[in-house]
Amino acid sequence: MNTPAPAPGRGLLAYLGLACSVLLITAGLAIGLGTGPGEGPSGPAAPRATDPRVPETHPAYLSREGVDEDAPVRLEIPAIGIDQRLLRLGLDKHKQLQVPTMAQADRPGWYRYSPIPGDIGPSVIAGHVDTTEGPAVFYRLRELDKGDTIRVHRADGQLAVFTVTKVRLVRKSRFPTKEVYGPIRYAGLRLITCGGGYNQDRGGYQRNLVVFAKLERPLNDA
């Protein structure tokens, strides 16, 4: 299923689509990208990432100055041993949501048309859960618990410290789009990957793992 994505700046990419190993979701439809555990290069091709479906709004943060100067550059999650520089995800030439390559499976990516971490709204970071070679950057994401700390370092030297509020494993067919990507009145963070068992006959992972977090305190120097 392909739907045209508006040009960057047209709206909050609050309803995203990514995929299996890395994923964001498109208006209630989950997608997959990646290969299942233990599969070799000859395994089935990953499902195509569907296009983002975007509300026709123009949030202020997309038109403000300084996006490059305060963009997130590094993600730390002490409880599961993550300390990695962030990729920046956009749209590809087909107007589909860009995903990290398998060669970048050890790095998470920030969707650059979501709020900058620490700003009002649900910032989105996605990462692969696994590759044909084994675990990827978000393999242990399922181990996070309420109260765990997530730190996002920004290019402006500011540190956004978030606290996990909940972790949900959801069916792709029943993805809670509004809860994940809808407007919020605080600085939030969503970490997204694939979850549950891998079903080769059904095209891969059938569930998404979503970590919800809320800014713990005002931004401060890292």
| DSSP 8-class letter at 180 | H
Give me the residue label for tokens 């997309």: 62
1 lies in some domain: no
Q: How confident is the model at residue 97 (pLDDT cuts 50, 70, 90)?
A: low
The pLDDT of residue 36 is 54
For the chain, the average pLDDT equals: 75
- The more confident residue out of 92 and 47 is 92
Indicate the range of 89-98, 101-110, 180-189, 203-212 predicted with least confidence: 89-98
pLDDT at 123 over 70: yes
- Identify the residue with better confidence: 184 or 36: 184
Q: How confident is the model at residue 125 (pLDDT cuts 50, 70, 90)?
A: very high
Task: Report residue 106's pLDDT band, with 50, 70 and 90 as the boundaries.
Answer: very high
Residue 198: pLDDT band with limits 50, 70, 90: confident
Any domain includes 85: yes
What is the pLDDT confidence band of residue 28, given thresholds at 50, 70 and 90? very low
pLDDT in tens, 52-68: 333 333 344 444 444 57
Domain that holds residue 44: 25-221
Q: What is the CATH number of the domain that holds 102?
A: 2.40.260.10
Residue 19 lies in a domain: no
- Number of domains observed in the structure of the chain: 1
Burial 7-30 (b: 16+ CB within 10 A, else e): eeeebbbbbbbbbbbbbbbbbebb
- Cβ-in-10-Å burial (0-12, 13-18, 19+) of 84 comes to middle
Is residue 207 in some structural domain? yes
Confidence of residue 139 (pLDDT cuts 50, 70, 90): very high
DSSP helix, strand, coil percent of the chain (3-state; round to 5): 10, 35, 50
pLDDT greater than 50 at residue 124 = yes
Decide if 66 contacts 116 (C-beta within 8 A).
Answer: no
Predicted structure pTM score = 0.74
Asked whether residue 14 is assigned to any structural domain, the reply reads no
- 151 has pLDDT over 80: yes
Q: Is residue 198 assigned to a domain?
A: yes
Check pLDDT > 90 for residue 99: no
* 104 closest CA partner among 78, 133, 124, 77: 133
| Angstrom distance (rounded) from CA 170 to CA 168 | 6
Task: With respect to residue 16, please indicate whether it lies within any of the assigned structural domains.
Answer: no
- 215 in any annotated domain: yes
Which has the higher per-residue pLDDT, 47 or 101?
101
